[in-house]
């Protein structure tokens, strides 16, 4: 978290009706705008408790000077209603954002008094004032976090002294990506091609449609890293028939160069269930896709055990070469 130290003067008082008196800036000074930026992405450990601060930034700004010649009013708060327009229950000054589970609070840098909506107004005595455009911006966990883009208003908060608006916070960053700090995985460098030897067989090894040879084991392997706070990454996989991509059965076609006939290849999971083939897509919920497992922080390797066998698909098995090819696509959530 970045922190820039500074000072702020002024106070937020109880609400009161407006009074009218002239306020004017000292010669040579005027309103001060603090233009703030937030880094993206903001990485959130998923298991942080509600109320935890996800990101905290101090934005130190310049001060200005003014004089009010009589009693008037001071007003402070959000320039416009924050998203959802209401504070989060039991969290003073925290307002909902476009990302579920993430709220925002903007406070005076020194007093740590949060800015509110509706804006707060209080009587202000005649005198000299030096308000400072310095702010504390915090993102707060308000519930289960769903990854997304957090939209920030251009004009955030401001103060008024009579008819003058001497300080204002403006966001130069319009959107911030919020992501969960979960592990990441990719296919291991030496596992992009997985040869499986199904062995040599005689037609008499098959005794009817659906009969098959002894399954031969193989595995698909991922290299994983990262993660924090107990987060898990769920891994899904789809196998696609490279010879007949539209195949949605549980029998892999023989390659076009095969000379054998009456055969196909089945891929089986560790529980013996056959795998149905689907489209070459990483979309979660893709037809034929199944949950392969999950990884947690510190797990460097994920291995999916599978096996394959020849299976008879026609009344007669014709001997010959019988190669088959499938591709695999992983999806993560």
Residues 110 and 152 reside in one and the same domain: yes
Kindly state whether residue 87 falls inside one of the protein's structural domains: yes
Assess whether 122 and 265 both reside in one domain. Answer: no
- Cβ atoms < 10 Å from Cβ of 13: 15
Identify the residue with better confidence: 128 or 47.
128
The reply to whether 7 falls in a domain is no
- Smallest CA-to-CA distance from 168 within 106, 216, 100, 251 is with 106
Q: The tokens 């969960």 sit on which residue?
A: 180
Q: What is the pLDDT of residues 102-127, one digit of tens each?
A: 999 999 998 899 999 999 999 999 99
Please give the pLDDT value at position 26. 96
pLDDT > 80? residue 294:
yes
Give tens-digit pLDDT for 122-164.
999 999 999 999 999 999 999 888 889 999 999 999 999 999 9
Q: Look at residue 3 and tell me if it is in a domain.
A: no
325 close to 243: Cβ distance less than 8 angstroms:
yes
Residue 90 has pLDDT above 80, yes or no: no
End position of a domain, from candidates 117, 147, 180? 180
CA distance 68 to 70: 6
Residue of 60, 57, 61 lying closest to 1 (CA atoms): 57
Q: Do 166 and 41 belong to one domain?
A: yes
Which pTM does this prediction carry?
0.59
From 106, 111, 112, select the one nearest 78 (Cα to Cα): 106
Task: Tell me what the mean pLDDT of segment 47-55 comes to.
Answer: 88
Residue 18 lies inside a defined structural domain of this protein: no
Within-domain flag for 14: no
Same domain, 27 and 176: yes
Total domain count for the chain? 2
pLDDT band at 3, cuts 50/70/90? very low
Q: Which domain holds residue 214?
A: 183-332
Tokens of 329: 């696509």
Stated length of the chain: 333
Could you tell me if 175 and 89 lie in one domain?
A: yes
> Do 32 and 156 sit in the same domain of this protein?
yes
- Return the CATH number at 62: 2.60.40.3310
Q: Decide which of 180, 213, 229 is a domain's last residue.
A: 180
Helices (H), 183-273: none
Residue 152's nearest CA partner among 134, 137, 167 is 137
Does a structural domain hold residue 173? Answer: yes
Distance, in Å, from the CA atom of 330 to the CA atom of 292, rounded to the nearest integer, reads 9
Residue 28, burial from CB neighbour count under 10 angstroms (0-12, 13-18, 19+)? exposed
Residue 305 confidence class, pLDDT cut points 50, 70, 90: very high
Same domain, 190 and 264: yes
List beta partners, residue 63. 132
Q: H-type helices in the chain, by residue range?
A: none
The DSSP symbol for 98 reads S
204, 174: one domain: no
**Nearest-CA neighbor of 55 among 106, 109, 112?**
106
Last residue of a domain, one of 155, 180, 205: 180
Same domain? 217 vs 156: no
Q: Is residue 221 part of a domain?
A: yes
Q: Are 64 and 191 members of one domain?
A: no
CATH of the domain at 309: 2.60.40.1090
pLDDT tens, residue by residue, 158-212: 999 999 999 999 999 989 999 888 788 889 888 889 999 999 999 999 999 999 9
Q: Cα separation of 331 and 60, whole Å?
A: 43
Same domain, 277 and 251: yes
Cβ partners under 8 Å of residue 226, min gap 6: 181, 182, 183, 184, 297
- Within a domain: residue 2? no
Residues 145 and 234 in one domain: no
CA dist., res. 79 & res. 73, Å (int): 17
């Amino acid at each position: 978290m970045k922190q820039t130290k500074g000072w702020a003067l002024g106070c937020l008082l109880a609400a009161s009706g407006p009074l009218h008196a002239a306020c004017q800036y000292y010669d040579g000074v005027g309103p001060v705008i603090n233009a703030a930026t937030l880094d993206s992405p903001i990485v959130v450990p998923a298991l942080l408790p509600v109320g935890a601060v996800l990101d905290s930034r101090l934005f130190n700004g310049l001060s200005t000077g003014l004089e009010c010649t009589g009693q008037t009013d001071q007003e402070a708060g959000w320039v416009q209603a924050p998203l959802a327009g209401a504070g989060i229950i039991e969290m003073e000054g925290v307002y909902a954002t476009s990302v579920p589970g993430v709220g925002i609070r903007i406070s005076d840098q020194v007093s740590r008094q949060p800015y509110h909506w509706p804006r707060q107004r209080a009587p202000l005595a005649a005198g000299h004032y030096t308000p400072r455009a310095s702010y504390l911006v915090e993102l707060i966990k308000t519930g289960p976090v769903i990854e997304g883009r957090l939209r920030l208003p251009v004009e955030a908060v401001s103060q008024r002294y009579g008819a003058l608006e001497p300080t204002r916070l403006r966001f130069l960053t319009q959107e911030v990506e919020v992501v969960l700090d979960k592990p990441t995985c990719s296919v291991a460098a030496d596992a992009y091609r997985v040869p499986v030897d199904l062995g040599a067989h005689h037609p008499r090894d098959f005794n009817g449609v659906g009969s098959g040879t002894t399954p031969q084991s193989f595995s698909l392997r991922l290299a994983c890293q990262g993660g924090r706070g107990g987060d898990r990454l769920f891994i899904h996989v789809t196998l696609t028939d490279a010879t007949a991509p539209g195949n949605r059965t549980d029998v892999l076609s023989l390659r076009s160069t095969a000379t054998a006939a009456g055969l196909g290849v089945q891929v089986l999971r560790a529980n013996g269930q056959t795998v149905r083939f689907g489209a070459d897509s990483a979309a979660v919920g893709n037809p034929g896709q199944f949950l392969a497992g999950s990884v947690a922080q510190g797990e460097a390797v994920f291995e999916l055990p599978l096996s394959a066998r020849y299976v008879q698909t026609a009344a007669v098995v014709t001997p010959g070469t019988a190669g088959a090819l499938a591709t695999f696509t992983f999806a993560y959530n």
